[in-house]
Structure formats: structure tokens, C-alpha cells
């Protein structure tokens, strides 16, 4: 049974907390009694997230995750100041819809930096002595796009396939430290990222994607609850897996 007190008073760092799934995750975790460290670049929007949280002691920490070398020392200083973390949720991410003939290496690299390399450096940061509790848990945001293909989205799909592969290997590597590593793979959820994607699609293309979701498009809370489950000790024997949360998109 899901232990609703498992996250009470535990500290969890959530990236992408200024928007969409990251923001919803912060809200759900705060409702479960956790203390949230909300991370993103836009301080104003992080403060908006903090204003929606239940309980006290939440922190807003603006940080540009494309500065990947700085992530482990920054996490060390967070833990020194605020205590060890129960977990990390890496919900910061970028999307790129670009046909191959228009795809530039710099744009691919920027996307990979945030979606993949930053996730790896967050795991590296968490494994340091004094930074994590034991047991601890990492949840990466993958996507159904790591499992299926979509024309014009190859860089994004590649990044999410990499997240799934990284999840399996890090789960093996960090198990001796008591750190579990899992991912969630959402289908289309109604966030700003979806608004951004809509601009690159015709109404017919969007309706087709919508129709591929037997339970309709997701809401951010649908994904946030799955993330909370993977953080809590109710999922203590789940490791190295990608949990698909897509309203049935991938069962076609
Ligand atoms: N929405 C969906 O339908 C969907 C489906 C499958 C998977 N996902 C995945 O779920 C995750 C969250 O998606 P979302 O829909 O919540 O996206 P979103 O609303 O566009 O939010 C993206 C977040 O990433 C942060 N971010 C981007 N670049 C950053 C950087 N360099 N440093 C720090 N933070 C950065 C943004 O914060 P700032 O602007 O404040 O920096 C923002 O909080 C992503 O990994 C996405 O690929 C989403």
C-alpha cells in the first residue's frame, strides 16, 4: 500500500520546478509533507511554484543546468546548508521539433546537455558523501518518444532513449549506495511544452496525436503521482525501470 507519510519531512530536489510537470510534482510532494528544493532558471516562476506549495521550509534555487560541471559542487553545498536529500526529480527538459534538413548540431547539443548530461551530473551530485540519505531515489523524466519514433523529433527522441539507457546503468551503479534510479515516460500532457509543440503542428496533426491517447491527454498531476510513488519506499524494489504513464498511447 502507498505509504502517504513516507515523504514527510524529507528533502527532495526538483528541477524544472518553474513549469509543467516539475511544478505539479513540487505541489504533490508538498501535499505529502516533503520539503521541496525548486530548481529552474526563472526565479519569478519558481517563486510562483513556491506560493502553491503546502507546508513550510521549501526553497527556491535558480540554477542553469546547462552548466553541467557546476552541478555536483552546487549539490554538495545545498546538502551542507540544508541536509541530505531523499531524492532528485529531473523534470527540466527541452523539446525540439525540427526536420532533419534544418537540424543544427548546436541545437542538438544544447538539448542533450539539459535532457541527458544534466541528469547524469545530478546523479553524480547525489551520490557524493553527505548529499543523499540511504535509501534514496532518483526519478528522470523520459518520454514515450524514447520508445516510439516521430518524424521531425529525432533529437528529442534520441535524448529520451538515452535517459532510459542511463536509468538502467545508473541503477546498477548506484544500488550499492542505496540509491534507486527510475524514470517515468509520459505521453502528451497538457503543459507549456505541449503548447510549444502545437505551434509546429496543423490542427489535424494535433487531433491525430490526441486520438492516439485512449484516455485523453494527461494532466501534470497524473505524472506527478507516479513520480511520488517512485520516490517513496513503497517502490523500494523497483529499480532501473521506465514507468510508462501515457493513458495508453504506446499500446497501439
Ligand atoms: N509535457 C509533456 O507532454 C511531456 C511528455 C513527455 C515527457 N515530458 C518531459 O517532462 C519534462 C518536463 O516537461 P514539461 O512539459 O513540464 O516542460 P515545460 O513546461 O516546458 O518545462 C520545462 C522546464 O525545464 C526547465 N529548464 C529548461 N532548460 C533549463 C536549464 N538549462 N536549466 C534549468 N532548467 C531548465 C524550465 O525552467 P526555466 O525556464 O525556469 O529554466 C522549465 O521549468 C521534460 O523532460 C519533458 O521532456 C513532457
Q: Best substitution site from 14, 40, 223 to test ligand 1's pocket, by max atoms within 8 Å of Cβ?
A: 40
pLDDT for 8: 94
| pLDDT of the residue at 143 | 98
- pLDDT at position 24: 98
Burial 76-112 (b: 16+ CB within 10 A, else e): eebbeeeebbbbbbbbbbbbbbbeeeeeeeeebeebb
CA–CA distance from 221 to each of 12, 180, 215 (Å)? 17, 22, 15
Per-residue pLDDT, 49? 98
Q: CA-CA-CA-CA torsion for 137, 185, 195, 108, nearest 10 degrees?
A: 90
Instruction: Report which ligand 1 atom has the smallest distance to the Cα of 16.
Output: 43
pLDDT in tens, the chain (252 residues): 667 788 999 999 999 999 999 999 999 999 999 999 999 999 999 999 999 999 999 999 999 999 999 999 999 999 999 999 999 999 999 999 999 999 999 999 999 999 999 999 999 999 999 999 999 999 999 999 999 999 999 999 999 999 999 999 999 999 999 999 999 999 999 998 888 888 888 899 899 989 999 999 999 999 999 999 999 999 999 999 999 999 999 998
CA distance 236 to 229: 10
Per-residue confidence (pLDDT) for residue 175, from 0 to 100: 98
User: What integer pLDDT is reported at residue 198 of this predicted model?
Assistant: 85
By three-state DSSP, how is residue 32 classified? coil
User: Any idea where the domains of the chain sit in the sequence?
Assistant: 11-185+219-243
What is the 176 CA–ligand 1 centroid distance (Å)?
Answer: 30
pLDDT of residue 200: 84
Known catalytic residues?
156
Determine the 3-state secondary structure of 36 from DSSP. Answer: strand
Give backbone dihedrals phi and psi of 8, rounded to 5 degrees, phi first. -60, 130
Res 201: pLDDT? 85
Q: What is the pTM of this model?
A: 0.97
pLDDT number for residue 71? 98
pLDDT at residue 134, rounded to an integer: 96
**CATH T-level topology, domain 11-185+219-243:** Rossmann fold (3.40.50)
Kindly give the distance from the C-alpha atom of residue 20 to the centroid of ligand 1, in angstroms, as a whole number: 7
**pLDDT at residue 5 in the model:** 82
Amino acid at each position: 500500500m502507498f505509504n502517504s507519510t513516507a515523504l514527510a519531512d524529507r528533502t527532495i530536489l526538483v528541477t524544472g520546478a518553474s513549469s509543467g510537470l516539475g511544478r505539479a510534482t513540487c505541489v504533490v510532494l508538498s501535499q505529502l509533507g516533503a520539503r521541496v528544493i525548486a530548481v529552474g532558471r526563472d526565479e519569478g516562476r519558481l517563486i510562483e511554484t513556491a506560493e502553491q506549495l503546502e507546508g513550510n521550509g521549501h526553497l527556491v534555487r535558480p540554477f542553469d543546468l546547462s552548466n553541467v560541471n557546476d552541478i555536483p559542487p552546487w549539490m554538495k553545498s545545498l546538502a551542507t546548508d540544508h541536509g541530505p536529500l531523499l531524492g532528485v526529480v529531473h523534470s527540466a527538459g527541452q523539446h525540439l521539433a525540427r526536420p532533419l534538413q534544418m537540424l543544427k548540431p548546436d541545437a542538438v547539443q544544447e538539448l542533450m546537455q539539459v535532457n541527458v548530461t544534466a541528469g547524469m551530473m545530478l546523479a553524480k551530485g547525489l551520490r557524493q558523501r553527505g548529499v543523499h540519505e540511504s535509501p534514496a531515489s532518483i526519478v528522470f523524466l523520459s518520454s514515450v518518444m524514447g520508445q516510439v519514433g516521430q518524424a521531425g523529433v529525432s533529437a528529442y527522441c534520441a535524448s529520451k532513449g538515452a535517459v532510459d539507457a542511463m536509468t538502467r546503468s545508473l541503477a546498477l551503479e548506484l544500488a550499492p549506495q542505496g540509491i534507486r534510479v527510475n524514470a517515468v515516460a509520459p505521453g502528451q500532457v497538457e503543459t507549456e511544452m505541449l503548447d510549444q509543440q502545437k505551434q509546429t503542428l496543423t490542427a489535424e496533426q494535433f487531433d491525430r496525436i490526441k486520438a492516439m491517447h485512449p484516455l485523453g491527454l494527461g494532466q501534470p498531476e497524473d505524472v506527478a503521482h507516479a513520480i511520488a510513488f517512485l520516490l517513496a519506499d513503497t517502490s523500494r524494489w523497483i529499480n532501473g525501470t521506465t514507468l510508462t504513464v501515457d493513458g495508453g498511447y504506446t499500446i497501439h
